[in-house]
Structure formats: structure tokens, C-alpha cells
Structure 1
Amino acid sequence: MQPLIPEFGQLALILALVAAVLQFLVPVTGLRLRQDWLMAYARPLANAQAVFLLLSLLALTYAFVVDDFSVAYVASNSNTALPTPYKISAVWGAHEGSLLLWVTMLGGWSAAVALFSRSLPLDMVARVLAVMALVSIGFILFTLETSNPFERHLPSAPVEGADLNPLLQDFGLIVHPPTLYMGYVGLSVVFAFALAALLGGRLDAAWARWSRPWTTTAWVFLTIGIALGSWWAYYELGWGGWWFWDPVENASLMPWLVATALMHSLAVTEKRGLFKSWTVLLAIFAFSLSLLGTFLVRSGVLTSVHAFASDPERGVFILALLGLCVGGSLLLYALKAPTVASVGRYEWVSRESFLLVNNLLLVVAALAVMLGTLYPLVIDFAGLGKISVGAAWFNTMFVPLALVLALVIAYGAMSRWKADELKRLGRATLGAMVAAVLLGIATPFIVNGELNGQVMLGMGVSFWLIGATLLDVWQKARGQLRRVPKLGLSYQGMVLAHLGVAISIIGVTMVSNYSIEKAVRMAPGDSAELGNYRFEMTETGHIEGPNYVSDAARIEVYRDDKLITVMTPEKRRYNASGSIMTEAALDVTLWRDVYVSMGEPLADGAWGMRLQVKAFMRWVWLGAIFMSVGGLLAILDKRYRPARRRLAEAAA
């Protein structure tokens, strides 16, 4: 007799749906009747929904851990030889489980709003949680109707199960999807706050202040999730690339770009009461793009290493959800936005203007990525043939916008509210500009003595952003380092985030222009030169893993005739599925990565080998770390700590 834990998980999922329906109906009824006691039920119902969803996810996890192959989803994505950590991560390794994780996180965000909103007006909390409940209802129904992870594999269950996709049997899968989903789903909070503010006619400084920490939190998770995905693809896929402009990668980049614009727009709304309608529109678009990403990954319209579903019914369901969310919110915006217009003035040269330009550049960049991602799908759907939009198009459209944005960022941070002067900004940044130009020109000559326009431009923009940012800190601290901690966590977070952008640009510029690689045939005793590195294959052999066997090579790497590392790339064959996977070997420092991967076996015991030396590769992700830490510091700023008195004063 099979244990009833999966049935318990199914029941918990149904009860979560009931709780979500009540979470919508009860507070909405309270709002219509102006009954506080009914509105107050929004919090406990949100907590109940979160608990039931968590129990459902734990039930599915238990089924994986104990190898309950009577559950079809478990049988399709696990086997008895799979290591336990990967059995746990296999819960979200395919469509049904990843969707359950998605809705569980949505419930968790609702519970977080219920917990950390004690200082908000009750009617605002009721509206926010009611909107989030509607989103939950849609996705829980989607899970139950088209993507139920608890369906039994009866009457006879397989003995061993199938296998988890070998690409996903990696630490990166354990941390990347949950982190990315936290960012995706976190944007639902911002979306809910925006709609609640529209419904209540409360687009004021207090609303912006309530929304900012939630927006920043979701943005931090999204930033970390994207960086983890890039890192995972870099070392796991065996190609040595860190960004492929894959449609599913683009699906996470688009909401990140709009969420970045939203954070800056909220700052203007909070500080000056401006951009109210635009800020709400950004909040709607940010969450809509996260739903678009969900549609792309789970509808079957894409073929990607990241994509899961291929069932048209699921695609239609998600498309309907996307249409309802986007269409309904835009209709509400059209009806309500004119009644909450911003009141205030600012000059063409002011912080408001620079932040508006920042917003426009980010949104145009997101639109460019969306056009390149969706255009081939639209052409294919219309029966006009199949086309592909490659990296060259995305780089041509995106990179210039990103460089102009980096130039604008520094001026936005240094300029004054309401009005400023170009002469003052020019004098204040002259030193940073001169240093950036000189260092940008010098960099390619220092590296290899050759002129390189791309390097001069990328490094010049990076040095400009670093120099102008540090100069702004110095000026605001009045030339005293001991005053820097007094500038506030929000400002310090902004500084770190802007430095992170510059660091990532340095990484992208250097790795794109100074990485070298070579494909060679190597057998034991052979050596190959790459730059000033020498690679010697000393032996080959076999490695027995917990659920795979590997052909492996021992590679000694010398630099200037000095041994610096010994590397062991592998070619794995997984026992259950027979899949062949490349496991690259890496030796990393802050300044370069040495990357070795095995290709196909050749005659006489030789192998095709791919040798790479990648300059400044770590800096791409180091910049993301700086940005994420900056976001965390901003969240911890005392302005966003629960304080009923401060919020009441702001609302007044």
C-alpha cells in the first residue's frame, strides 16, 4: 500500500485554493461594507494559504526523498541512485514541481506582507492582500487543472524511476530557480501595492515609501537569481559562455530592467510626489513581464535548456492568466490614473530629469530585448516561416543603451532636486571625466599594446562611473571618511549598486575582448600552448560517481614554465538515462579563469579538448554581488523600518 502523503499534499493544495478565495472575498466584502473586522481577516487567511502551500511542497519533497515512484512526477524526474540533495532540488527540476514552488513562494510573499504591514492602514493591507489572492487563485487553479504534481502512476509504479535531467544535477539548480522565482514572485507585491493604491486613490509619498522596500527586495532576489543562472550556464554547459541571449535568459532580464526603473521612479515619487502614474505603470509592467517569462518557459513555445513544459493546454491557460492580469490592471490604470496626476515642477537640469532619462533608457532596453525575443515567435505563429534573432542583434541594440545609461547614472546621483546647473555638474565631475578618458585610452595599450575602441569605450565608461560615484561620496562626506557611515544606508546602498554596474561593465568588456581559446587534439603526453599558458595531458582514466561514470583527463597547466594548477575535466555518462554530459574544469583568480572541457573521444586514446583563458570573468558576477549588497543596505535603511508615526506623518 502506497503512503498517503501525496494525497495529503493534494488536499493541502486544495485548501490553499480555498484560503486564497476567502482571502479575496472576505476583505473585499469588508471594504465594501466598511467593516474593519472583515478586512482584518486578510492577514490570517494569507498566513493560512502560505501554510497550506508549504505543506503541499513538503509533501512533494517527501515523495522524492523516499522514492515514491507511484507519483508520476517523481518517477519521471528521479531514481533511487540520485543523491539526496538532487532529489530535493528535483522537486523544482521540471514543470509541475517548479510551478508548485512558484505558488508556494507567492503564498510566502503574501504572508510576509501580512506580517510586516502592521503600520499600514487596514484598508490598504486588505486591498494588497486581496490582489495577491487573485493572482494566487489563478496559479493554484493552473497547478491543479493542468500541472498537478501529485498524480499517481498507477496501477503499477516503476521500480527505479527515470532520472533528473543531468544538466540539472548540480548545485546551481539547488539555488538558482528558488532565488530567481523569489524575484519573479516578489514583483507581485509591488503589483498589488500599485493596484491597491489606484483602487484607494492613494498614490502619495506614503504609498511610495511602503512600496520601495518590497520592490528592492524583489530586485535583489532577481539580481542574484540572474547572476546564479549565468554562473551555472558558464561552468555547466561546457561552452564557457556566460550569457547567450537565450529567450529564457531574456525572460528574466526584462522584468529586472523594468524593476530597476521602478526603484528609481519610486524614489522620485517618495521624495517629490512626481511620476506617480508612470511609477504605477512600471509596477504593472514589471510583474506583467514576470508573467510573460512564466508563459515563455512553461507554454511550450520555446525550445531551451531552461524551458519545461510542452503542453499547449498549459500555454493557453497561462496566456489567459497573463491577459487577465495585464488587461485588467491596464484598464484600471486607464480609469484611475488621470485622477491621481502628479503636482510639482522641475527644471530640465535636475535629478528628476536625469532619473526620467534613466527610466526611459531602461524601458527602451527592455523593449529591445522583448522585441528580439518575441518577434521570431510571432513570425512562426503567423506561418511566415522561422527566423532567429542572434546575439549580434541584441548586442547592437542593448550595449549602446547600457553604456549611455552608465553615463547618466553618475549625473543622476550628483544632481540636485528641482533645479541644477550644467556648469556646476561639469565642474564637479571634470576630474572624474578627464581621468576616465585617460584611463580608458590607456587600458588597451597596457594590456597588449594595441588600440581597441571597444575596450577604450567600455573601460572609459566604467572608470567614469566609478570616479564620479566616489567623488560624490567624497563631496557629500565633506572630505572626511568618518562621515561616510552617517550618509545613510540607502545612500551607501546606491553607491555600492552603481559601483557594481561599473564592475560588471569592466568584466564584460575584458572577457569579450581579451579571452583566448583553442580546440586541440590531445592524448596522454601531448601538450598545447595558449597565450603564455602550456597545457599538458599526463593521463586519462575513469571516475565512478554515485550515479554516473566518467572518462577524465589529468591536465597540468603551466604559466611561464611554472606549474600553476592541475585540472581534471570529465565526460560523464549517467547510468539511469545514458545521457552524456561535459563537466568542465576551472582554475579561477580575480583576474582570469582557466577553463578546460573535454569534447569527443578520438582515435588512439586521444580526446578533443577545448582550452580557454578568460580575462576578468569573475568581475561579471562580482558586479552583481555589489548590486545585491547595495540593495540589501537600502532595504535596511531606517526610513523603511515599521514606524506608524512616520508613515502617518508622510500620509498627512
Structure 2
Amino acid sequence: MTPEIGHFALILAFALSLAQAPALLIGARAQDARFAAFGQRAAILIFGLVAVSFFSLMHAYAISDFSVSNVFENSHTAKPFIYKLTGTWANHEGSMLLWALILTLFSGVLAAQGRAAPRDLLLLTLGVQALIVSAFLAFILFTSNPFLRLFPAPLDGTGLNPLLQDPGLAIHPPFLYLGYVGFSIPFSFAVAALIRGKADTVWARLVRPWALIAWVFLTIGIALGSWWAYYELGWGGWWAWDPVENASLMPWLAGTALIHSVRVVERRDAMKGWAVLLAITAFSLSLVGTFLVRSGVITSVHAFAVDPTRGVFILMILMAAIGGSLSLFALRANSLSATGAFAAVSREGALVVNNVLMLVACAVVFVGTFYPLFIDVLSSEKISVGAPYFNFIFAPLASVTLILAAVGTLLAWKKADLGASVKKLWPAAAAALVMAIIVAVIADRARISGAFAMGLVVWLAGGAMIDIAGRINLFRAPFSQSLARAKGLPGAAWGAAIAHCGIALFAVGAASMSLWKTEVVQLMAEGDRAEIAGYSVTLQSVERISGPNYEAERATFLATKNDQRVMLAGERRFYPVRGMETSEAAIRARGMNDLYISFGANKSGNGWPVRLFFNSLVGFLWLGAAVTAFGGLVAFGDRGRKPAKLRDRKPAPAAVEAAPA
């Protein structure tokens, strides 16, 4: 009975969303408080109904109700209970229901907490959001129903893809979706601004926290995905420029540009067109990523859909959302007149350059991801675009962006003295030069590129620290005064500095993995030894073990370096229900460096193929991602100074005030 409750709740949510969208748009246009109140209450009620639907599906997974087709296809009685629950979204239908849950959650929060917004802006934004909700609920109900029944009910299920039975990938999709879907709110605000013909400092102040929290969640989601790929797939890497990875990177790049642009609108009432366009772009790229994964055009552990009907439906949503919003932008962009003028050499000018570089980087990733698909459609010829293309073009763009970022943080608003700003960076330049010389001397290979990369990250982090030091008058005033200024510094300033330092830390790990990773491949029998990066690694034993729903070979390695001995264990697991194998790498983390070992099957009977990696400074990848996300959270906590237009706005009509808070 529970699946029927979930299905019925989903139908009610869809019907209510169809009524909600026109009610909100009428309420905004006709200034009708009754329609407005209904639309706001409906947003909260729709979230409640979708939550009932989602947890009904989760309950079916928890009790292994194999009469539900979705549970039968993605679960098994022998599967650990935690993966029964996370299996709710580890499939196409369930993942889209999770998408709808997060989408309606954000709409409900906006409806409940949006009283500070001008009434027409709030209602138009909620109306656009309701249209998006309607489209995705229709997609679920008509093409991806998670509650279809099987009769008679099977005795057991077919199990879950073993690669998805992992803590990292269990929590990765919710964070990724919080980022993807979070950009729907800035998108809806952007469309509402175009309809109103007005995007001012009030609009920017409302958009900024939504853009920031979506960016933070997407940062965490991408980091979790790369961490899982690193330790679970046994290939010794963290990023392969896979189409699904690229699908998450593109909205992150656009979102990074968006949060900078919205800040300019909020502070200077400038770059309004940029902010609106980037809000549209960030969510549009999220939808493109959804189409890429859910349409069946690629095959990946992340890609669930194979039914072309679903791909066509998502393509229609994508065309309506992107085509409609960009058409509206083309028609109404001239109405977003800016009052804040600025010179080319200014912080605003630097951010314009930043936006251009970010969009060019998006275009590079987009072309590399979709070009093989276009060729396949047009000529049925299979081609691939791999890491060399992306590294050759993307790396220089990223380098230029990081160089300019350190300069841009020190430029004044409106008009700046470039020479004076650059002079302030001499400590960062000196530290970068020292670091480059050190790396060039001690590096055993990639001396020039390594020296440039390490110098660049010191330059970026140094620029962020010099900016903060200048703001608090460090070394130019008594320490007590600097401390007091530091306490009073806006969270946005601290958040930007922390995020820039986080990106610098991340760049250390990315550069090191690219330039100084060491690999040894060797066929090893028990007792054999391999040498890598000063480690002597001996294969001690290989034994067969049994897990809750798998059989495995466990290899035990003894690693010795400088008279220190450590035991490592890796596994090759076989899941009988799915007939699939996975690998569990043996990883010895010491500081920021990893000794990484994976092994294959002993098909010849002469030994196991063992791949050993020494990954220098790899820990900086995830430390940097964590620091970057933390910087975003610090900036999110800064609500800034309330604009006069918002402070002096008259209260909304009583009927709207009666909406649930």
C-alpha cells in the first residue's frame, strides 16, 4: 500500500504545481493577494507531498518490497541495509525523485522565507520555479514512474551496481543535486528580473546566498565524486575528463562567475546583464548535465537511462528552459540598465575578464564533451576527446585566471591604479619566485612546469592574504587594532580569501598528480617485492574472504621505508548477484602523499598484476576542496548591509503576510 501512497502523493503534487504556476503569475501581474497566498502555500504543500512520495519509495527499499519494479531492479535481500536506503537514488527513477524533492524543498524555503523580497519579484520567481517543478514531475510520472508494480512479486531482486555500494558514491549524488538544483533559484530570479525589467541591489542581495549555497554544495559533490573515483576504481587517478565529470564542472565554472558578478551588482549596481546571463547559464548547464546523464547518450556508472523517450522529454525541458530564458534575455536585456559606471582598470573590470575566461573554459569543456556525440549522430563515427585536449587548452586558461585573480582582489572599485595595486603584491611575487626556484632545484622531472605551477599557487594564496592584511592594516597599526578590524571584516571578504586559498591548495594537488605521480606495474607472486619512491613493497599473501553479499580476494602488502614497516590490504570483490567485480585499493596515506596499490586477477597462474603509485601531495586535492567550500559557507553567512530600498519597502498585503512562515 505504501507505494500507492507515494504514487498518489506525486500525482497530487503535479496537479497542484499546474495550478500553482498560473496563480503566482496572475498574483504578480494583477496584484491579487489571494492568488499570491495560494501560490506560496502551494509551494510548501508540494514539497510535503513529494517528501511523502520519496520516503514511500525509501520505505519500499528498506523492507525489500520486490513487488515494486524499481526495488526489484536495484536491490537484493543480501545487500547491506545502508545500501538498501541509498539505493533509493542509485537508479534513474529514484534519482529523479530525489531531484524533484530538492527542487521542491528550495521552492518551499523560498516561499516561507521570502517575505523580505519585493512582492512582485517573489511571486514571479516562485511562478518560474513552479513551471520547472511541473516539468520535472511530469517527466517522472509519464516516463520514469518509480512505483510501477510487478505481479507476481519476485522472491528477490537483481541487486545494485556494486560500484554504487560505497559510502562515497552513496552521499555524492545528494550533494551534487543540491548544487545542480540550487542554481534553479538564481535562474528563476533572473527570469523574474527580465520579466520585471529590473535587477537592482535588492535583487542581487536576494540572489547571492542562493548562488553561494548551490556553489558550495556543487563543490562538495564534485570533490566527493573525485574522491570515490580515486580510491574505488583502482586506476590511481582522480579526474579523467569523463563526460559525467565534465557535466558537473561546467555549471561550477558558470556558478563561480555568477557569485562574483552578483557581488558587483550588490555593491556597485553594475554588471547586471552579466549576473542575469550567468544565472541562466549556470542552471542551463545543470540541465545539460542532466540530459547528458539521463538521456542514454552515454554509458557510465552514473548514467542510468537507456530509454530514448526519456531523453526526448528531457531535451524538450532543456529547450524550453534554455531557449525561453535566452530569448527573454535577448528581448529584455536592455531594460537592465546599470547606474554604476566603472573604468576598465578596476575590480569590476577584473571581474568582467574573469567572467570571460570562465565562459571560455565552459565552452572548451562543452565542445570536448559534446563534439564526439555530434559526430556520432551525424556520421555514426566513433571518436573520443581525451585528457590531452582538455589539459592543453584548459590548463592555460586556468593559469591566466589564477594570475589575474590575485591582482583583481587588490584593485579598487570603480577606478584603480594598476601599478600601485601590483606593487602591493611584491611579497607574493617574491614568495612565488622562491617557491619556483626550490621546486626547480629539487624536482627530479617536470622542473619548469612544476616550478611555474607551484609558484602560481603561492602567488594566488599570497594575493588573498595580502588583501586581508591590507584590509586590517596588519603591520601598519597596533596588533589590537588590526585584530579589531579583522573581527569587523565582512564575511564576504573572509570567504573570498579563504576560497582563493582553498583553490590554491587544490591546485597544488592537481599539479602534483599531473607532474610527479610515479607508477610501477609488476607481476607479483606471494613473496615478490617491488620498489617505488623509496618504498619496498612485498606481496605477503592473497586469501579468499566472504563479505555480506560478495566474495573477495584480499591481498596483504608489507611496505617498508626508512626502517618503518606498514601493512596494507587491498581487495578484488566479486558480486554474484550482478556478476560484477570491483577493486578496493590499498592506500597508505602519509602526510599529503599516498602509496597506492591495486591488483588484478591471476589469470595466468604466475602471479597477480599489481599497479603501484606514489601520488605526491594528492591530499591537497580534497583539503583544497574542503577549504574552498568552507570559504563559500563563510561568505554565505554574510548577509551584508540591507539596501535602503529593502529597508524602506512597505509591508506586503495582509493576505500574503498570512502565508506560512
Check conservation: 1:590, 1:619, Cα contact below 8 A: no
Is 1:239 matched with 2:241?
no
Is 1:499 matched with 2:501?
yes
Cα deviation for residue 646 of structure 1 reads 7.1
CA distance in 1, matches of 2:422, 2:278: 31
Residue 69 of structure 2 aligns to which amino acid in structure 1?
A
- Candidates 117, 121, 125, aligned match of 1:124: 121
Cα deviation for residue 40 of structure 1 reads 2.1
Is 1:37 matched with 2:42?
no
Range with greater deviation from structure 2 (554-563 or 231-240): 554-563
SS at match of 1:92: coil
Cα deviation for residue 543 of structure 1 reads 1.8
* Partner of residue 199, structure 1: 195
* 1:255-266 matched pairs, under 5 angstroms: 255-266=251-262
* Partner of residue 516, structure 1: 518
* Structure 2: gaps of 5 or more residues: 651-661
Deviation digits for residues 610-640 of structure 1, max 9, x if unmatched?
1111011110111111110001011111427
SS at match of 1:182: helix
- Candidates 423, 426, 440, aligned match of 2:422: 426
Range with greater deviation from structure 2 (451-460 or 386-395): 451-460
Cα deviation for residue 240 of structure 1 reads 1.3
Provide TM-score, normalisation by structure 1: 0.96
CA distance in 2, matches of 1:326, 1:379: 23
Is 1:559 matched with 2:541?
no
* Structure 1: gaps of 5 or more residues: none
Residue 436 of structure 2 aligns to which amino acid in structure 1?
G
* Partner of residue 532, structure 1: 534
* Partner of residue 586, structure 2: 585
CA RMSD of aligned residues (A): 1.7
Is 1:135 matched with 2:136?
no
Residue 54 of structure 2 aligns to which amino acid in structure 1?
L
Check conservation: 1:602, 1:608, Cα contact below 8 A: no
* Partner of residue 397, structure 1: 393
Provide TM-score, normalisation by structure 2: 0.95
Range with greater deviation from structure 2 (299-308 or 398-407): 299-308
Is 1:357 matched with 2:347?
no
- Candidates 222, 227, 237, aligned match of 1:226: 222
- Candidates 451, 455, 478, aligned match of 2:450: 455
* Partner of residue 628, structure 2: 627
CA distance in 2, matches of 1:326, 1:586: 44
CA distance in 1, matches of 2:26, 2:645: 29
CA distance in 2, matches of 1:548, 1:584: 16
Q: 1:198 to 1:648 in 2, by over 3 A?
A: farther
Range with greater deviation from structure 2 (439-448 or 299-308): 439-448
* Partner of residue 331, structure 1: 327
Provide the aligned length of Structure 1 versus Structure 2: 644
Residue 72 of structure 1 aligns to which amino acid in structure 2?
S
Check conservation: 2:559, 2:567, Cα contact below 8 A: yes
Check conservation: 1:526, 1:537, Cα contact below 8 A: yes
CA distance in 2, matches of 1:457, 1:561: 35
SS at match of 1:586: strand
Cα deviation for residue 122 of structure 1 reads 2.1
* Partner of residue 653, structure 2: none
CA distance in 2, matches of 1:587, 1:339: 58
Q: 1:167 to 1:370 in 2, by over 3 A?
A: same
Q: 1:292 to 1:495 in 2, by over 3 A?
A: same
CA distance in 1, matches of 2:100, 2:106: 10
CA distance in 2, matches of 1:378, 1:578: 33
CA distance in 2, matches of 1:644, 1:405: 31
Cα deviation for residue 431 of structure 1 reads 2.4
Residue 344 of structure 1 aligns to which amino acid in structure 2?
G
* 1:379-418 matched pairs, under 5 angstroms: 379-383=375-379, 385-418=381-414
CA distance in 1, matches of 2:176, 2:298: 19
CA distance in 1, matches of 2:336, 2:443: 55
CA distance in 1, matches of 2:292, 2:571: 33
* Partner of residue 186, structure 2: 190
Range with greater deviation from structure 2 (337-346 or 348-357): 337-346
Check conservation: 1:39, 1:123, Cα contact below 8 A: no
Check conservation: 2:446, 2:516, Cα contact below 8 A: no
Residue 80 of structure 1 aligns to which amino acid in structure 2?
T
Is 1:314 matched with 2:310?
yes
Check conservation: 1:440, 1:463, Cα contact below 8 A: no
Cα deviation for residue 387 of structure 1 reads 1.2
Is 1:61 matched with 2:58?
yes
Deviation digits for residues 178-201 of structure 1, max 9, x if unmatched?
000000000000101111111122
Cα deviation for residue 358 of structure 1 reads 0.7
Check conservation: 1:81, 1:547, Cα contact below 8 A: yes
CA distance in 1, matches of 2:578, 2:382: 32
Deviation digits for residues 9-29 of structure 1, max 9, x if unmatched?
100110110221122121222
* Partner of residue 365, structure 2: 369
Would you identify which runs of 4 or more consecutive aligned residues in structure 1 move more than 4 Å?
602-605, 643-646
Deviation digits for residues 453-503 of structure 1, max 9, x if unmatched?
110111111011111211121111101451322212111110100001111
Range with greater deviation from structure 2 (599-608 or 199-208): 599-608
SS at match of 1:50: helix
Q: Select the structure with the greater relative contact order (CA < 8 A; seq sep ≥ 6).
A: 2
Residue 318 of structure 1 aligns to which amino acid in structure 2?
I
Cα deviation for residue 553 of structure 1 reads 1.1
